[in-house]
Structure 1
Amino acid sequence: AAAMNAALDARGIPPATVAKMKPWMLSAMMALPACELARQSSGATVLDVKLAESAKAAGKPVEGLETAESQLRAMASLPLAFHMKGLVDTLKLGDKVNDINETMIVLYQ
């Protein structure tokens, strides 16, 4: 709990606001560096949208593989223990999450 609260504090998120969230949603939040959360909250385009826009601009067809609803349903169908381990592992990454995120962005561009 202390590691979670520290991670939330670092992102300026009051712990009470996430008390009812599923562990996989918290993992997703913690997997994004604070700078990316700030970038997105300022209205910047998320990576998936940027990739789709770039493909369209290049005249490439863009199709979705799955809907947001199907993604959420899939995540919700996995066992709680799986999600809790993922959350703990994500928190253990600490500042390394910044490097992981940056590497992913570079590889996708």
Structure 2
Amino acid sequence: MNREILISLFEKKDRKRRRILYSLYQEYFDQGLSSVFIAKLVNDDLHSPELVSAEDIKYCRFYFKDKVKVAKRLPPARASPREPSEKSVASNSPIQWSDPDDLDAIQNQIVKSKFSKT
């Protein structure tokens, strides 16, 4: 693609003009310059003032530049075998439940609930 084709595409408001603009001036986009400054540089290079606007540059940045930066993926953590702890040994014993009807009134009052007001 050459610059004369780009000028004619911008004058006709062709659909592909921005993609060609990005392909021709990709080094300006990669440098991280401001959109107004890039538009001025491109217009100076094309010898056509106000042919390319800052909105065209912003459009090219948004749609054609790789927006997604892929982060390095961490290697999966190795599952270490669990070592039996004392708590797990204690949890193997059967749980003893008490019947609240069998307890006397004093022992029923000792039992506190998270819902009871203190």
The answer, yes or no, to whether TM exceeds 0.5 is: no
The structure showing larger relative contact order (alpha-carbon pairs under 8 Å, at least 6 residues apart) is 1
TM-score by length of 2: 0.16
Larger helix fraction of residues: 1
TM-score by length of 1: 0.17
**Which one has the largest radius of gyration?**
2
